[in-house]
Amino acid sequence: MTIKTIQNLVSEAMGEIKTIDADEAYQMVQNKNCNLIDIRESNELENTGSVEGASHIPRGMLEVYLDPNSPIFQNGEIDQNKEFVLFCAGGVRSALAVKSLKDMGYQKVSHIDGGFGSIASSKFKII
């Protein structure tokens, strides 16, 4: 049995998922066409700030929170009909997370190339 490296996993995921840039994501947020989801850990947000308008769901809880029966959907916090746009610090975790959501059956999912690094140098407001 061969154990895959993180590079293998990310490369495979990138072949199956949609990647957008920070400017595309910004337009989607402005047009209210997406759920912008920050999957970084809480300490990362404390250290670098949050993106205005983004929901925070740590990567480790993503599949639990985005289960169709979870309170997030029941309470209307996230619109299941809109595209899910994920980001992490640099794009590795979000690429794997988008693949996981696709495996769950989500169709409208993408991640931001370059993650928070590219968001911080775009039109997004960091709070």
| CATH, residue 113 | 3.40.250.10
CB 89 within 8 A of CB 47: no
Average pLDDT over residues 63-76: 88
pLDDT digits (tens, 9 = 90+) for 31-69: 999 999 999 999 999 999 999 999 999 999 999 999 988
Model confidence at 75, pLDDT cuts 50, 70, 90, reads: confident
- Whether residue 126 is contained in a domain is answered as no
For residue 7, the model assigns a pLDDT of: 92
Residue numbers of the domain that contains 21? 6-120
Rg over CA atoms, the chain = 14
Record the pTM.
Answer: 0.93
- Whether residue 37 is contained in a domain is answered as yes
Give how many domains the chain has, as a whole number: 1
- Whether residue 127 is contained in a domain is answered as no
Q: How far is CA 94 from CA 1, 31, 53, 75, 76, in A?
A: 27, 22, 18, 24, 23
